[in-house]
Amino acid sequence: MDTTTRLLLPEVTEALHSHPQELVALTEELHPADLADLARALEPELGHRLLAVLPVGIGARLLEACDEDHRLALFQSLAESEMAHAVAVTDEMAADDRADLYALLPSSLRAKLLAALDVEESRDIRQLLSYREESAGALLTTDFVALPASTTVAEAIDMVRESAAEMETIYIAYAVDPNGTLLGAVSLRDLVTSPLDRTIDAIMNPNIVSVKVDDDQENAARLLARYDLLAMPVVDEHHRILGIITVDDLMDVVEEEATEDAQKMGAVEPLHTPYATSSLGEIIQARAPWLVALFVAVLATENVLEHYAHSGMVSAAMLMWFVPLIISSGGNSGSQSATLIIRAMAVERLGARDTVMVLSREAIIGLILGVLVALVGVVRVLLTESTRSFEMAAAIGLSIASVVAVGALVGTGVPMLLRRLGIDPAVASTPFIASVLDIAGLIIYFEIADLFLP
């Protein structure tokens, strides 16, 4: 709980119990994020009452700042008699946040609320709800400034001033033709510094980056980051502008994707709700399948060890002492490579054309790292082993160098192969790669040792 929430919590609690009229003074200057934290910190019954007594404008800001689960809980806490208040609150929300809320509602409640809206608002929400969940269209807002290209700067400034309060952003306006086709963009700076009698098509930037409505959200995020944009237009197949995606919405997508990838790399099925609000059953369900699968994979190492233990190698018992050293070196090397490559594919757009370059690079890096780690292992053996120490040192050193090099190649190759097959590379979790390298490392180790210590 931050300082603002801790200081205001007693006063807001008291106001909800005895003096609801004081809530406006306590909350109207709060940042929406602080307001959402305050609502979460309240006792459940008070948190639910908060939305009912707040003015619609503040209530809208509260819902916009909440995560999905909390937003739905607050909204559904409104009684049947407060549906008019519910409609008024959603009417004040940004178009994209409002559509997200309606998507969460039970179909019966959603239909009831849509029927209470005016025709244009209802049609707008239905259209936003029709877009594929992971598409750019699912993030767009229709609250943007569109200016006819033939409009003068003076007329455009008046249009921006009149609509500013309802827009998601006014820093960028978009020039369109009579059919709504996107022609260019005009910044607020250009508007206020250009001669008033000039037309928009004379001052607009025609080289504008846009995204198709069916494009993936990750692609939209990459474009926004690459061109350092605050907002990006979303167009249909005829290049007609449908809305815009703002940087704050895409930041949420980036955070969600990073969280999902991190969970996959840890061999966990992505959670659909925040960890703190996920049930024990949901967490177990996310973790159990991979944990069981990895356990079954690790059973293969037992078979490998059993095979070499009964192979007749005189030195097999002595070699067993160094098994953890060998397999951990390979697993660590593979995990490092996998982490670097998966992230590089996400942010640097490594593709199939880079496969040979990347594998060659990792092979060299793996060999160099393998030699460095092997030197440490050789010194360790020479200092502590008295029986056949030179043969043992040679076997351990060559095994470590080989396993680390193979680990680098496996950690690199598996994610790239998965990408080639159309599978999310993050599925190549570090525990999975470590398990594969445990088996490979044992085979390499005992085969090399058999050459030096038959």
Yes or no: say if 22 and 16 are a contact pair by the CB < 8 Å rule. Answer: no
In eight-state DSSP terms, residue 205 is B
What is residue 295's three-state secondary structure? helix
Please, where are the H alpha helices in 310-388?
A: 316-319, 323-347, 355-384
Q: What is the pLDDT of residue 202?
A: 93
What is residue 204's three-state secondary structure? coil
CATH topology of domain 144-247: CBS-domain (3.10.580)
CA 85 – CA 56 distance, rounded (Å): 7
Q: Name the pairing type of β-strands 145-148 and 231-235.
A: unpaired
Is the four-CA dihedral 191, 195, 196, 200 of positive or negative sign? negative
Q: What is the pLDDT of residue 219?
A: 86
Residue 454's closest CA among 398, 392, 373, 404?
A: 392
According to CATH, the superfamily of the domain at 3-129 is MgtE N-terminal domain-like (1.25.60.10)
pTM of the model: 0.66
Q: What is the pLDDT of residue 429?
A: 65
Q: What is the pLDDT of residue 163?
A: 87
Tokens at residue 390, please? Answer: 């030179």
Tokens at residue 440, please? Answer: 């490979």
Please give the average pLDDT of every successive group of 10 residues along the chain, which has 454 residues.
74 78 79 85 77 84 82 74 78 83 83 81 85 88 91 93 84 93 93 93 93 90 86 93 88 76 73 71 82 80 76 66 86 88 76 83 93 91 76 89 93 86 74 85 87 76
| Per-domain residue ranges of the chain | 3-129, 144-247, 280-453
Other Cβ atoms within 10 Å of 298 Cβ, number: 14
Strand order in the sheet with 172-176: 145-148, 172-176, 182-187
Yes or no: say if 59 and 51 are a contact pair by the CB < 8 Å rule. Answer: yes
Yes or no: say if 381 and 452 are a contact pair by the CB < 8 Å rule. Answer: no
Q: What is the pLDDT of residue 85?
A: 80
The residue behind tokens 């996107």 is: 182
Q: What is the pLDDT of residue 401?
A: 94
CATH 1.10.357.20 assigned to domain 280-453? The reply is: yes
The residue behind tokens 């703190």 is: 276
Residue 415's closest CA among 427, 406, 400, 403?
A: 427
Sequence-distant (≥ 6) Cβ neighbours of residue 330 within 8 angstroms = 403, 404, 406, 407, 434, 437, 438, 440, 441
